[in-house]
Structure 1
Amino acid sequence: MPDQPRRPNIIIMGIAILVAALVPRLLGLDESFFERMAYGLFFGLLAIWIMNFLYDRISRG
């Protein structure tokens, strides 16, 4: 059984998908499909890592 509730994980994934889809376009890094996929993967994973880090810090108090 996981220690963390399921809801924050779903919220984190939703935000990461939005970040992965929007940030490369907003920065003008979507020249080709492969660039869009690479930058989307990078920014999405970065968003997941940052939000998990912040969630751990907040939940510990």
Structure 2
Amino acid sequence: MEKKPVKVRLVGRNGRNYDIQFPYLHIPVTVNETLYRRMLKSAEYQFDSSTERLKEQGTAN
């Protein structure tokens, strides 16, 4: 049985920390830059299109 990726959303950035919104959680989870980059490359997480908008604005690198 293949797992579906968890759909997450980047909601903000504070210095080298990133706020990630997970489904079914009311508050975002703050992760460091290393973990955020691992999540981007992982097949376990699927970032929604708002992440792309933040990148275009220069909020997410």
Structure with the higher helix share, 1 or 2 = 1
Q: Scaled by the length of structure 2, what TM-score is found? A: 0.25
Structure with the higher strand share, 1 or 2 = 2
Structure with higher Rg: it is 1
